Structure 1
Amino acid sequence: MPSSARVLLIPPDTRPQTLELPAQLAVMTGATVRVPPEGALPAFFTPGNTALLRDWLLQEAGQADIVIVCLETLCLGGMIPARRVSDPLETALGRLAVLREVKRQVPGLQILAFGVIVRVAHDNDPHEEKPYYGQWGRELRAYSSAFDRHARHGDAEAGALETARAALPPEILADWTGTRERNRALHLAALDLLSEGVLTHLCLTLDDTTPYGLAAFDRRMLEARADELGVWSRLDIYPGADEVPCALLARALAPQAARVWVRYSGLGGAGAELIYEDRPAGELVRAHLRAAGCVLADTPAEADFVLAVNTPGTRQANRQPDFATVDTPHRHLPAFVDTLQEALEAGQTVSLADIAYPNGAERRLWALIQGLPLNRLAGFSAWNTAGNTLGTAIAFGKLMAHVMDPAAHAEALFARMVDDALYQAFARAEVRDFLDNPSPFDLGEARTVAETQLRELMTPQIKALWERHFADSGLALEVGAAHLAWPRLFTGVFPLRVHSSMATG
């Protein structure tokens, strides 16, 4: 794919990680990116305008080389709205048909799509899920697990399933499972488009998944259909969600397979257990490498880049520090940091994925790497789930060999350090404490106070981090006003622009 590739991006929503980050990764390779107009994309749980999306895609496709499209946005108004809206299957399938129309009009167009298997949320969130999930989340999670256990193990689990079903109002259960069945049918239709050749590649990912549950049940049904169609060479089904646009961009913009040497923070890191995924760290790494068009290298010498993965000692934990399962003798962080330094000093391409804790960098590791030349990293990622982090770090690593705009690369890299480390690992907790334990689901009137506090905390820290690691790079930083993407602390927005310092001279 030429460096001047023209990309159309229809993301799952408008958060920086799902909209701005993929665009940054594309731009640093010399590609151009167009995104749908304002109003077409969702705003939190408010659906986007699917008719406007369809018209935009038909209008723009003739001038594009690559389309990266979230099926939920195209067909149901967004990843979160897809879990909430009542649009019938026939309507969703009618919206999906635009991809066949676009491919017919532009036969050479690469269409890389992804869908997100409906999650069973860990928290009783009434905004990202159906409104009744705030009241019935615990019971719906119990039903999800019991249903899958019964599906796998038979009559021995029948009693538990009946108990779980009886604990729920029938209309709530029917609505919730009906939404899942509609979205699964949409993904089955996408598999047909893949089989027909309309789609170049398809990722069907599991968001916030567990070993047992309705998401695992859906996964097995989709895998069975993939077996029937024989489409596995162009299909990936694995735990992930928000990071998939980055992975598909790496696959499309750098089509040749990259060989990757994976180095874990502990010798047993590949076996570490994760909170929001259904498999150990090593298997998750393999899945994300394949999605981005990468393979494991047999030796460090033959690797195109090193993926350095900070894993928990035995299992992730939510609160830092955790000395029971994360910061244990099963790994030795100083030695891990030594290997990072050696690799960077040797000029190797290194992308760092920190999955020891979900939802932010490990504070101890962040402190230890401050002595390293962080501006030399190909990538850094430590946000949300392990899958989000890995997919992002792998995309950085694979695309590093194709960077044509060093300022754009520095901007993407620094933005991840600001969000994943400075905010998610540190400042977010400080703002939460300042607000005296606000609702995690909706800040309400406290949002203004939170954003004021956010700017006071983050702005000097952002500038200090730049001065420490990027000031001698010949680049200049502009810092905008920090704010929140949605009325909750989970996602901050930190407007940054990096450009050549000579441009301001």
Structure 2
Amino acid sequence: MAKIVLLPLDERPCNIRYPKQIFKQSSLEIVTPDSSVLGDKKTPASFDGLNQFLIDSTKDASGLVVSMDMLLYGGLVPSRLHHLSKEFLLERFNILRTIKEQNPSLIIYAFDLIMRCPQYSSNDEEPDYYGTCGLDIFKTGFIGHKIELGIATDEDKKSFERLNAPKHYLDDYLGRRDLNLSMNQMTLNYVKEGIIDFLIIPQDDAAQYGFTAKNQEVLKKEIDRLEINSKVYMYPGADEVANTLLSRMYTALEHKKPKFYIHYPSPSCATTIPLLEDRFLDVTVRYQIRAAGGMIISSIQEADIVLFVNASGTKMASSASMIAVRDEGLRTQRNLIDFVELMEDVISMGKVVAVADVATLNGSDHELMQLLKQKNLLLKLGAYAGWNTSSNTLGTTIPHGIQTWANGFTKSHLDFLMARYVEDYGYMTTVKGSVNQELNAMGMNYFDVKSRLSDVEQMVEKRLQMFIHQYLAPIEKHIVIERVWMPWKRMFEVGVEVKYQD
């Protein structure tokens, strides 16, 4: 087996457990830091511990997949909060040079996020002041960018004049953005020098205009100047990128290039722009397939894997809740019957069917899941995901599909598939909302359940079991929930350990 070291984006299950589960029965041995080294949400990881881990673990490794946000700032959320000096951050880069000199044959794939600018006011993952003026900070960038481009309307300009983000908060926010951008540029220099072999620059919670979009343009120009375009991909994403780069590492080491055919439930799906992203869905789909080591072909007959991308015919729904009202994009402007029946046909041809469920934000599409259940396809899929953003889902489904194509319907494949149904479908569409309704009476809220954490985790597990019995009855006997936990002691995400049993 090839030893691959993973320095994750942070300590959440999506960044550590998902990669290990997807590649569990592959030819890769994935090594990650001990949890004692990693941080806890806003608390950064131990920089000395990370250095020692990298030096010790890469000596005999074939490859390294490294989150630059973890390496430089101690994690994703700390990258948005830190007060680190430029000198300190530049010194952090030296560890990459050290380990490359120690093991010259080490393949290094990196990912380095453009700092996000949320489109709402919340300090859950941002500085404290973002809870009161975050939306104004976002609009300052968004509308200001449109004014610079000469495309702002009169209403835009009036709105801009009414914005009232305090100057000292804006200065703090923009100062950190500028520093982080300079670190993005330094990472590009490491690609040019050959220390980093391949780089993905994900845009976390992107928008078509604003601070993030402007940073993207700066980096595009620098990539062109350095002539490293083929070694740097830039597209929306964040928490899924470790899966993608591990898949790229796998296909490179195994000399494989799986062939993908892409199918949507409506022609218009490909040209929708998912929420929190900045470009057509199909553009990102193609980026993600290439980044994971695959290629795209034009016929099902040629394909190894058929990627079924379930999307709205008009715009992504903002809620995955079963009780949410659906617009015509989900009601009439797509053909789910044909979509699912084609899955049956493709499976009968002996090809891998991978489903990326991106019709709704942060959760499965109930209508699709019920059709998959009725058609008895839930255990026949080669991959499925429907969590958080469109890019998060794509970067989980595509690597998982590649592993199923390469290794078959292994026990680890089925374990991960069951976990996706429990989490993406059960928790995100129903259980999260039902438990959240009771938090106030228990003295808690959506963003903080630590005072009665054990009670909440037990409630979630019990309701997941009820959900499985009601909505996943045909495969209920195969799903064993071994553990449920709230990784960041809030309701946004859940940790589930799920096993498949015969």
SS in 2 for 1:149: helix
In structure 2, the residue matched to 1:310 is 310
SS in 2 for 1:208: coil
Contact 2:43–2:78 under 8 Å retained in 1: yes
Q: Please give the residue correspondences for 1:165-244 in structure 2 after superposition, counting only pairs within 5 Å.
A: 167-244=164-241
Contact 1:27–1:405 under 8 Å retained in 2: no
Contact 2:416–2:498 under 8 Å retained in 1: no
Contact 2:418–2:479 under 8 Å retained in 1: no
Contact 2:2–2:27 under 8 Å retained in 1: yes
Match of 1:486 among 485, 488, 498: 488
Q: Please give the residue correspondences for 1:409-448 in structure 2 after superposition, counting only pairs within 5 Å.
A: 409-435=413-439, 439-448=445-454
Deviation of the 1:21 alpha carbon:
0.5
Match of 1:468 among 451, 474, 487: 474
In structure 1, the residue matched to 2:336 is 333
- Equivalent-residue separation in structure 2 for 1:151 and 1:182 (angstroms): 22
Structure 2 length normalisation: TM-score? 0.92
In structure 2, the residue matched to 1:84 is 81
The alignment's C-alpha RMSD in Å is 2.5
Q: Please give the residue correspondences for 1:75-154 in structure 2 after superposition, counting only pairs within 5 Å.
A: 75-153=72-150
Deviation of the 1:332 alpha carbon:
1.3
In structure 2, the residue matched to 1:458 is 464
SS in 1 for 2:100: helix
Contact 1:478–1:497 under 8 Å retained in 2: yes
Deviation of the 1:404 alpha carbon:
7.0
Structure 1 length normalisation: TM-score? 0.92
Please list the CA deviations of residues 436-468 of structure 1 after superposition, one character each: whole Å capped at 9, or x if unmatched: 596333235354432221121123545888873
Q: Is 1:360 the equivalent of 2:363?
A: yes
- Equivalent-residue separation in structure 2 for 1:304 and 1:258 (angstroms): 6
Please list the CA deviations of residues 318-371 of structure 1 after superposition, one character each: whole Å capped at 9, or x if unmatched: 134443253232101111111112212222111000000010001111111103
Amino acid at match of 1:351: A
Contact 2:146–2:152 under 8 Å retained in 1: no
In structure 2, the residue matched to 1:349 is 352
Please list the CA deviations of residues 183-228 of structure 1 after superposition, one character each: whole Å capped at 9, or x if unmatched: 1111111111111111111000101111111110011111110001
Match of 1:55 among 52, 56, 69: 52
- Equivalent-residue separation in structure 2 for 1:146 and 1:193 (angstroms): 34
Amino acid at match of 1:417: Y
Amino acid at match of 2:351: Q
Q: Give 5+ residue unaligned stretches, structure 1.
A: none
Deviation of the 1:470 alpha carbon:
8.3
Amino acid at match of 2:382: A
- Equivalent-residue separation in structure 2 for 1:259 and 1:405 (angstroms): 18
Q: Give 5+ residue unaligned stretches, structure 2.
A: none
Amino acid at match of 1:396: H
Deviation of the 1:127 alpha carbon:
2.5
Which of 377-386 and 21-30 deviates more? 21-30
Amino acid at match of 2:234: I
In structure 1, the residue matched to 2:299 is 299
Q: Is 1:400 the equivalent of 2:404?
A: yes
Deviation of the 1:171 alpha carbon:
1.1
Which of 97-106 and 242-251 deviates more? 97-106
Q: Is 1:247 the equivalent of 2:244?
A: yes
Amino acid at match of 2:291: A
- Equivalent-residue separation in structure 2 for 1:48 and 1:99 (angstroms): 17
Contact 1:28–1:405 under 8 Å retained in 2: no
Closer, same or farther in 2 for the Cα pair 1:478/1:452, shift >3 Å? closer
SS in 2 for 1:116: coil
- Equivalent-residue separation in structure 1 for 2:152 and 2:296 (angstroms): 41
In structure 2, the residue matched to 1:495 is 497
Deviation of the 1:90 alpha carbon:
1.8
Deviation of the 1:267 alpha carbon:
2.4
Deviation of the 1:161 alpha carbon:
9.9
- Equivalent-residue separation in structure 1 for 2:293 and 2:203 (angstroms): 19
Q: Is 1:369 the equivalent of 2:372?
A: yes
In structure 2, the residue matched to 1:15 is 12
Contact 1:111–1:198 under 8 Å retained in 2: yes
Contact 1:28–1:408 under 8 Å retained in 2: yes
- Equivalent-residue separation in structure 1 for 2:467 and 2:114 (angstroms): 38
Deviation of the 1:150 alpha carbon:
3.5
Deviation of the 1:165 alpha carbon:
9.3
In structure 1, the residue matched to 2:389 is 385
- Equivalent-residue separation in structure 1 for 2:153 and 2:479 (angstroms): 62
SS in 1 for 2:112: strand
Amino acid at match of 1:388: N
- Equivalent-residue separation in structure 2 for 1:329 and 1:459 (angstroms): 32
In structure 2, the residue matched to 1:262 is 262
Please list the CA deviations of residues 403-448 of structure 1 after superposition, one character each: whole Å capped at 9, or x if unmatched: 2781112122221121111111221111112335963332353544
Deviation of the 1:27 alpha carbon:
1.6
- Equivalent-residue separation in structure 2 for 1:165 and 1:75 (angstroms): 36
Closer, same or farther in 2 for the Cα pair 1:221/1:177, shift >3 Å? same
Percent of pairs with identical residues: 27
Please list the CA deviations of residues 65-87 of structure 1 after superposition, one character each: whole Å capped at 9, or x if unmatched: 11111101111010111001111
SS in 2 for 1:69: strand
Contact 1:120–1:141 under 8 Å retained in 2: yes
Contact 2:112–2:200 under 8 Å retained in 1: yes
Closer, same or farther in 2 for the Cα pair 1:173/1:331, shift >3 Å? same
Contact 2:306–2:354 under 8 Å retained in 1: yes
Please list the CA deviations of residues 386-405 of structure 1 after superposition, one character each: whole Å capped at 9, or x if unmatched: 01011111111222232278
SS in 2 for 1:236: strand
Closer, same or farther in 2 for the Cα pair 1:104/1:147, shift >3 Å? farther
- Equivalent-residue separation in structure 1 for 2:344 and 2:376 (angstroms): 6
Amino acid at match of 1:457: R
Please list the CA deviations of residues 284-338 of structure 1 after superposition, one character each: whole Å capped at 9, or x if unmatched: 2122122212222121111121000101120012134443253232101111111
Deviation of the 1:166 alpha carbon:
6.6
Closer, same or farther in 2 for the Cα pair 1:375/1:229, shift >3 Å? same
Amino acid at match of 2:144: F
Aligned residues: 493
Contact 2:144–2:160 under 8 Å retained in 1: no
In structure 1, the residue matched to 2:277 is 277
- Equivalent-residue separation in structure 1 for 2:491 and 2:429 (angstroms): 12
